[in-house]
Amino acid sequence: MTETLPTRAADLPAQWNPGEVEVGMYERWVEAGYFEADPTSGRPPYCIVIPPPNVTGSLHYGHAMDHTLIDILTRRKRMQGYDALWLPGMDHAGIATQSVVERQLAENGEPSRREMGRAAFVERVWQWKAESGGLILSQMKRLGDGVDWTRERFTLDEGLSRAVVTMFKRMFDDGLIYRAERMVNWSPALQSAISDIEVDHKEVEGELVSMRYGDGEDSIVVATTRVETMLGDTAVAVHPEDERYSHLVGKEIVLPIVGRRIPIIADEHVDPEFGTGAVKVTPAHDPNDFEIGRRHDLPMPTILDESGVVTGTGTRFDGMDRFVAREAIKEELRRQGRIVKEVRPYKHSVGHDSRTGVVIEPRLSLQWFVKVESLAKRCAEAVRSGETVIYPREMEARFFQWVESMHDWCISRQLWWGHRIPVWYGPNGEVVCVGPDEEPPSGEGWVQDEDVLDTWFSSGLFPFSTLGWPDDTLDLRTYYPNSVLVTGYDILFFWVVRMMMFGTYATGKSPFAHVYLHGLVRDEHGAKMSKSKGNVKDPLELIDAYGADALRFTIARGSNPGADMSLSEDWVAGSRAFGTKLWNATRFALSKGASPTLPLPKRPTDADAWILGRLREVAAETDALLDEYQFAKAAEGLYHFTWDEFCSWYVELSKAQLADEATAEGTRAVLGHVLDTILRLLHPMMPFITEALWQALTGGESVVIAEWPKEPGAPVDEGATQRMADLQRLVTEIRRFRSEQRVPDNRRIAAKLIGLDEAGLGGHRNAIASLVRLTEPGPEFSTTATLEVVLSTGRVHVEIDTSGAIDVEAERTRLNRDLAAAQKELAQAEKKLGSEAFLAKAPAEIVEKIRARHAAALAEIERINSRLAALPK
RNA sequence: GGGCGCGUAGCUCAGCGGGAGAGCACUCGGCUUACAACCGAGCGGUCGCAGGUUCGAACCCUGCCGCGCCCA
């Protein structure tokens, strides 16, 4: 147990120590049940289901961003009175998990997967999960994720497995799932099929080899980047209208090395412009060739085994790895004088297994598929009709492009860890799909399909399987459709489309009202983080060093919709500094007796009225921005208000007000009210520090369950706002003078402020003196410098006794700089006002604005010139 | 090849039709009774290039150059 939280002002330590407090604070939130949703509460529901992380995974920046944003959304909704549910869970990550355990077996010298058999191996994986899986869950706690742990789910748990079988059975019965021998992306490393989106296409420098098939008159030259596939060729194809080859179509030639006679066929899909216009056809190892093979009823011999080794060709190349065979066959062809041309390097795109990086081998094999056409169409409709809105809108184009060109989804994996396909094959060729409550057929000769389903088949059900589907549960009725799915645009297709396909199919409704797509976290120079670049830092390290709030606020502040963000340690340090600022401001306020329970002053000072008006504006802006998922702007707005307005001006002004009995009590109330509101507004972004401060300030139970501010502060007071702007202008001008005259900041100087009353700032004399460290002019006061500051309602003369000669050159430089700025301003305004077209066509209010600027610039120039003239030589 | 997006201060990014902004970095002055993880002041930009539309363009349109991503 960590130290108890301060609940009274006096207990607030001088420094915020996140490392000592955060973990215990999080535990208390969970114990108090703040994050538990209650569908019987009668509150409007708000639900976000986690995009399930892998059971093998650990927290990286993608998660950190995703979770921070989700947590901001749900914590705010909870405060707004919603029954907010953020449902956590993980997926079983078929390939990744199986690989981890297999590697472990090998390292320990234990029996291999195949040696121990399926049941024992699966048992072993469960054991691994119990011991080492789910590290990310504890890391989520460090980040402060306000998830409902009572509803945590796992794709392989009983309920979700039931959902998977139910879905499979329904789709199977509806003819949306079928088994067929098709060309799939085969990973020789995984020895499994993988889906299209698990393949990365990369430009590689290979070679294009042209070789001659047949001899003499009846020979033809074809080109390929994969020479070894020639062993599986069953035809050569040319375009039907290609006159160069029309005399050959229908004839047969001899396939070198193999000796097989193969036909020359005409097919419209051959591009006569590419290479020689003739292509070799390997139907079992190339998607295009497979289509040609189907159209022409060609044999489809498989010449590579599961691991990419040449097999069954009856040549001496059997047993060679595909890349070894490539070179060996090329040598043989060269020996035979059949190599016509070699283009090297030849840049072309090659599919790689995104997990292992090995080159994908297109391979004909018997697999299960989901027929996506109607499902994808329904997804597109959901977005087109507004049933689901994608934020930011620009991402819609990408979405449509994807769903409209989607291929059938290969869902079978040659693995053991996962949901085994619920199909049994009978002794006489029967195929039976067994639903969740049905008994599989038993008896001699019945066997279950060996394969498991793609992990996405189960994680794609997450928006509703986690809520109890297929049962009609209260959770499902309450929280489905989910409010929003939050994820990175890079995995738009992984989650979003699949969840939508399943959701619309199973329930008739799209699974979420909104989809918010955030960008990727990059390093401080905008480069993608990668292990090979060495620019990846563990988010947990940053949390340890700066606190979770600092990392979260940095992410919020950098997260513009759909845009990547650069994250550097400097930024995180800056966010920590912001937390420190908030900490110190609250400490100050508490030390002065500030409290949000005090009544706001009936007769507020200008400063009070101004900050209360700004508070209301900022709260409204924050709401509008968060409703639009504009996290960066919301965070920036709160940062600026808290630091640059509240701390830099109001808190400073409050010092004078607190010293005056007439205003002290009101000031305590305003300080308390503004801080209370700031802490609530910031809580979703910085949950820990705001909790500590809010409890200290208010004595309340927890800011987690505090009410979200609704029209805090007061309506904007135009007069007070104007006077505060003037005051700030005046103060800044005097500070500037001091700075440029090299008056050390710690030295007080005597000054006379003339014209304050006329400028409406008469009541602020003490405040100004305190802000710029002025003293009352004594009897020996002698003006050594004067300033004139133009304000909205008049001019203020400042006569200063700098106790000595002023730096005339510095003053001249400063005035000249101001003069140049004013002259530029004047020139711009004159140019516009001199244009007939402008006066005739621009809106009246714009013309008026320019006129005012023109007048102001003229006055400024006049003022500066007289000051310059008055300067001693 | 098709599609989307981006080039704004040294760095990272806002702004997307009417006075060029922020954070960090940098310079100068300060431990001023909440805060040196701080305070005050300042320096810094032909808004990628070239045309066009408009009274007016960083912002809209076209082309070009450079960069990134997705799909084929």
Q: Kindly report, as residue ranges, where domains of CATH 1.10.287.380 are found in chain A.
A: 720-870
Q: CATH classification of A720-870, choosing from 3.40.718.10, 2.60.120.10, 1.10.287.380, 3.10.20.810?
A: 1.10.287.380
Asked whether residue A394, judged by its CB, lies under 7 Å from any atom of the DNA or RNA strand B, the reply is yes
The closest nt to A584, taking CA to C1', is B34
**Residue A3 pLDDT class (50, 70, 90 cuts):** very low
Asked whether residue A588, judged by its CB, lies under 7 Å from any atom of the DNA or RNA strand B, the reply is yes
What CATH fold (topology level) applies to the domain A192-362?
A: Isoleucyl-tRNA Synthetase; domain 2 (3.90.740)
The C-alpha atoms of residue A469 and residue A458 are separated, in whole angstroms, by 12
Which residues are within 8 A (CB) of A337 and not within 5 positions of it... i.e. 6 or more apart? none
The closest nt to A580, taking CA to C1', is B37
Segment A268-295 shows an average pLDDT of 82
The closest nt to A829, taking CA to C1', is B19
Report the SS3 class of residue A529: coil
**What is the spatial order of strands in the sheet that A199-213 belongs to?**
A220-224, A199-213, A339-353
Asked whether residue A366, judged by its CB, lies under 7 Å from any atom of the DNA or RNA strand B, the reply is no
Strand B contacts (CB < 7 A) among A residues 552-571? Answer: 558, 560, 563-566, 570-571
Give me the CA A633–C1' B59 separation in Å, rounded: 19
The C-alpha atoms of residue A56 and residue A367 are separated, in whole angstroms, by 26
Give the tens place of pLDDT for each residue, A144-197.
999 999 999 999 999 999 999 999 999 999 999 999 888 888 888 888 887 776
The C-alpha atoms of residue A703 and residue A681 are separated, in whole angstroms, by 10
pLDDT over threshold 80, residue A27: yes
Give the tens place of pLDDT for each residue, A461-500.
999 999 999 999 999 999 999 999 999 888 777 788 899 9
Closest residue, by C-alpha, to the C1' of B38: A581
The total of other beta-carbon atoms located within 10 Å of residue A409's CB is 23
pLDDT over threshold 90, residue A705: yes
Sequence length of chain A is 873
The closest nt to A821, taking CA to C1', is B19
Report the SS3 class of residue A459: helix
Give me the CA A720–C1' B21 separation in Å, rounded: 25
Task: Check: CB of residue A546 under 8 Å from CB of residue A573.
Answer: yes
The closest nt to A400, taking CA to C1', is B3
In this predicted structure, what is the pLDDT of residue A530?
67
Strand B contacts (CB < 7 A) among A residues 171-200? Answer: 196-197
Closest residue, by C-alpha, to the C1' of B12: A566
Select the highest-mean-pLDDT range: A352-361, A707-716, A756-765.
A707-716
pLDDT over threshold 90, residue A422: yes
In this predicted structure, what is the pLDDT of residue A74?
97
Separation of CA A6 from chain center? 35
Task: Check: CB of residue A12 under 8 Å from CB of residue A587.
Answer: yes
pLDDT over threshold 90, residue A584: yes
Select the highest-mean-pLDDT range: A148-152, A377-381, A779-783, A790-794.
A148-152
Give me the CA A827–C1' B55 separation in Å, rounded: 17
The closest nt to A575, taking CA to C1', is B37
For residue A661 the two structure tokens come to 């009995």
Helices first, then strands: H and E counts in chain A: 28, 29
Identify which has the larger pLDDT, A65 or A210. A65
Give me the CA A393–C1' B68 separation in Å, rounded: 19
Asked whether residue A576, judged by its CB, lies under 7 Å from any atom of the DNA or RNA strand B, the reply is yes
Give me the CA A398–C1' B18 separation in Å, rounded: 35
In this predicted structure, what is the pLDDT of residue A114?
86
DSSP A713-766: S----HHHHHHHHHHHHHHHHHHHHHHHTT--TT--EEEEEESTTTTT-GGGHH
The C-alpha atoms of residue A739 and residue A40 are separated, in whole angstroms, by 63
Give the tens place of pLDDT for each residue, A302-312.
888 888 888 88
Q: Kindly report, as residue ranges, where domains of CATH 3.90.740.10 are found in chain A.
A: 192-362
Q: Kindly report, as residue ranges, where domains of CATH 1.10.730.10 are found in chain A.
A: 540-700
To the nearest whole number, what is the mean pLDDT of chain A? 88
Asked whether residue A843, judged by its CB, lies under 7 Å from any atom of the DNA or RNA strand B, the reply is yes
Asked whether residue A260, judged by its CB, lies under 7 Å from any atom of the DNA or RNA strand B, the reply is no
Asked whether residue A40, judged by its CB, lies under 7 Å from any atom of the DNA or RNA strand B, the reply is no
Could you give the percent of chain A with pLDDT greater than 70? 97
For residue A494 the two structure tokens come to 């992984």
The closest nt to A589, taking CA to C1', is B34
Which residues are within 8 A (CB) of A235 and not within 5 positions of it... i.e. 6 or more apart? A262, A263, A264, A265, A280, A281, A292, A293, A296, A298
Give me the CA A775–C1' B53 separation in Å, rounded: 59
Asked whether residue A647, judged by its CB, lies under 7 Å from any atom of the DNA or RNA strand B, the reply is yes
Pick from A137, A47, A138: which is nearest to A85 by CA? A47
In this predicted structure, what is the pLDDT of residue A10?
53
Asked whether residue A533, judged by its CB, lies under 7 Å from any atom of the DNA or RNA strand B, the reply is no
The C-alpha atoms of residue A605 and residue A611 are separated, in whole angstroms, by 10
Give me the CA A633–C1' B5 separation in Å, rounded: 20
Give me the CA A811–C1' B42 separation in Å, rounded: 14
In this predicted structure, what is the pLDDT of residue A409?
87
Strand B contacts (CB < 7 A) among A residues 742-801? Answer: 742, 744-746, 773
In this predicted structure, what is the pLDDT of residue A533?
66
Name the residue type at position A191: Q
Q: CATH classification of A540-700, choosing from 1.10.10.10, 1.10.730.10, 3.50.50.60, 1.10.760.10?
A: 1.10.730.10
Q: Which nucleotides of B are covered by protein (CB under 7 A)?
A: 2-5, 11-15, 18-19, 22-25, 28-32, 34-35, 37-43, 54-56, 69-72
DSSP state of A439: P
The total of other beta-carbon atoms located within 10 Å of residue A315's CB is 17
Give the tens place of pLDDT for each residue, A245-256.
888 788 888 888
The C-alpha atoms of residue A191 and residue A363 are separated, in whole angstroms, by 11
In this predicted structure, what is the pLDDT of residue A155?
94
Segment A29-53 shows an average pLDDT of 95
In this predicted structure, what is the pLDDT of residue A532?
62
Give the tens place of pLDDT for each residue, A633-676.
999 999 999 999 999 999 999 999 999 899 999 999 999 999 99
pLDDT over threshold 90, residue A527: no
Could you give the percent of chain A with pLDDT greater than 90? 43
**What is the spatial order of strands in the sheet that A261-266 belongs to?**
A252-254, A261-266, A235-238, A278-281
In this predicted structure, what is the pLDDT of residue A4?
40
Asked whether residue A405, judged by its CB, lies under 7 Å from any atom of the DNA or RNA strand B, the reply is yes
Give the tens place of pLDDT for each residue, A15-25.
899 998 999 99
The C-alpha atoms of residue A297 and residue A235 are separated, in whole angstroms, by 11
Give the tens place of pLDDT for each residue, A797-847.
898 887 766 778 888 888 888 888 888 888 888 888 888 889 999 898 899
The closest nt to A588, taking CA to C1', is B34
Give me the CA A397–C1' B2 separation in Å, rounded: 13
Give me the CA A396–C1' B22 separation in Å, rounded: 30
Asked whether residue A516, judged by its CB, lies under 7 Å from any atom of the DNA or RNA strand B, the reply is no
Asked whether residue A528, judged by its CB, lies under 7 Å from any atom of the DNA or RNA strand B, the reply is yes
Give me the CA A566–C1' B67 separation in Å, rounded: 16
Q: How far is CA A616 from CA A231, A602, A604, A673, A682, in A?
A: 76, 17, 15, 11, 15
Give me the CA A394–C1' B62 separation in Å, rounded: 22
Q: Is the bond into A299 cis (omega within 30 degrees of 0)? A: no
Asked whether residue A636, judged by its CB, lies under 7 Å from any atom of the DNA or RNA strand B, the reply is yes
Give me the CA A490–C1' B69 separation in Å, rounded: 9
> Of A228-232, A329-333, A534-538, where does mean pLDDT reach its minimum?
A534-538
Pick from A425, A395, A412: which is nearest to A497 by CA? A395
- Tell me the β-bridge partners of A203: A349
Q: How far is CA A791 from CA A572, A710, A766, in A?
A: 39, 34, 18
